[in-house]
Structure 1
Amino acid sequence: MTVATTHHVPYFSQWESSSLVTEFVSGTTAATSDPLWKSSGADSVEEYAFWAPRMCGMACLRMALGFFGQPVPPSVPLVREALAAGTYVRDGDQVRGLIYAPFAAWVTARWGLFAEARPQLAVEEVDAEVLRGRLVLLSVHKAIRTLDPRPEQRGGHLVLAVGSGPDHVTIHNPSGFPEVSQQFHQVPRADLARFFAGRGVVLGHAH
């Protein structure tokens, strides 16, 4: 029996205008039209629009930093630092990442937090980590935002597990839909299995 617990983690979308995520995702509004793009710290709206759809990991990290009492940097400068640390590999318009091992090493070196890459991670282990006061980046399919009955695959998008209960895991989803699946979204355990790739990164206070 899982004890219900939820951590009061601040929420950040991977887009600056979290209220417009539905439009950004559907393509009815371009990221270059985000009225708040400058708060991302990008040098240009084009730089922001390139990274916004790819910044789920940085959004999760910003939420964790806020929760663990660290200053929260703007998203695009954080991406640049992550690139330098080998967390992402960019080749032209292609980006590979978030790469777990260099990400965990960077988070530990940069902020002194506990960070552990978990290439194999069971839902029960997520529960245990959350109960210990930690947060967990989970690799899920992006269609978790609507609990799509038939996602194309598992993994490819990162969300942050901030709580769990007997029949659900509570997540902050950087590309969740406003009022529906952005923050404190309770995903039933029966549904999670369709999306979760069984890997992630555990973050916490240093030992």
Structure 2
Amino acid sequence: MTVATTHHVPYFSQWESAALVPEFVSGTTAAADDPLWESSGADTPEEYAFWAPRMCGMACLRMALGHFGQPVPPSVPLVREALTAGAYVRDGDQVQGLIYAPFAAWVASRWGLFAEARPQLSVDQVDAEVSRGRLVLLSVHKSIRTLDPQPKARGGHLVLAVGSGPDHLAIHNPSGFPEQSQQFHQVPKADLGRFFAGRGVVLGRAQ
């Protein structure tokens, strides 16, 4: 049986105004109108608006950096570094990524952390990694924020596993809803399978 483990990990949304995530997701407020967009380090609201919906991986990385005692860069400069490292590939308005292998190599070389791409990852393996003090980026469907009973797919969005128990995983969700599914959101393991694509990246202190 899994012993309950929860790490004290800081939370960052992929949007600067975490309280407005429901409005950004629904489209009632444009990302370019985020009153805190400058905190992202973007040069313009338009640059921020392009990347904010795509920055779940960078938000997870920022959380992990804070947890492991590293400086936490603003999100858009981090995206620029990730592009240079090949963790994202941009072609006009199209972006491929997060690409796990170059992402893991970049994290390891840049911050000296343990970082391992895991193209095959089970829930039991996530439990084991969390229990040994690591954090795990999980590829899930974005509708995990409301535990949608019928998600359209698995994967496509990244969340950070920060804890586990016998019947649940605790996640920080960069696009979660405030007071509902942003921080330490307990997702029943019985529900996880319909969202989780069975892959991710394990992050930890250097071995």
TM-score (norm 1): 1.00
Q: Describe how 1:14-163 pairs up with structure 2 within 5 A.
A: 14-163=14-163
Shift of 1:116: 0.1
Instruction: Specify the alignment match of 1:182 in structure 2.
Output: 182
Paired with 2:156 and 2:190, the residues of 1 have a C-alpha distance of 20
Amino acid of the structure 2 residue aligned with 1:12: F
Shift of 1:199: 0.2
Shift of 1:52: 0.1
**Count of residues paired in the alignment:** 207
Paired with 2:120 and 2:19, the residues of 1 have a C-alpha distance of 34
Q: Which runs of 5+ in 1 are unaligned?
A: none
| Structure 1 consecutive aligned stretches of length 4 or more whose deviation exceeds 2 Å | none
How high is the sequence identity, in percent, across the aligned residues? 86
The RMSD of aligned alpha carbons is: 0.2
Amino acid of the structure 1 residue aligned with 2:201: V
Shift of 1:176: 0.2
TM-score (norm 2): 1.00
Paired with 2:149 and 2:27, the residues of 1 have a C-alpha distance of 22
Shift of 1:4: 0.2
Instruction: Specify the alignment match of 2:198 in structure 1.
Output: 198
Q: Which runs of 5+ in 2 are unaligned?
A: none
Amino acid of the structure 1 residue aligned with 2:28: T
Paired with 1:13 and 1:194, the residues of 2 have a C-alpha distance of 23
Paired with 2:33 and 2:186, the residues of 1 have a C-alpha distance of 30
Shift of 1:86: 0.1
Paired with 2:9 and 2:28, the residues of 1 have a C-alpha distance of 30
Amino acid of the structure 2 residue aligned with 1:161: A
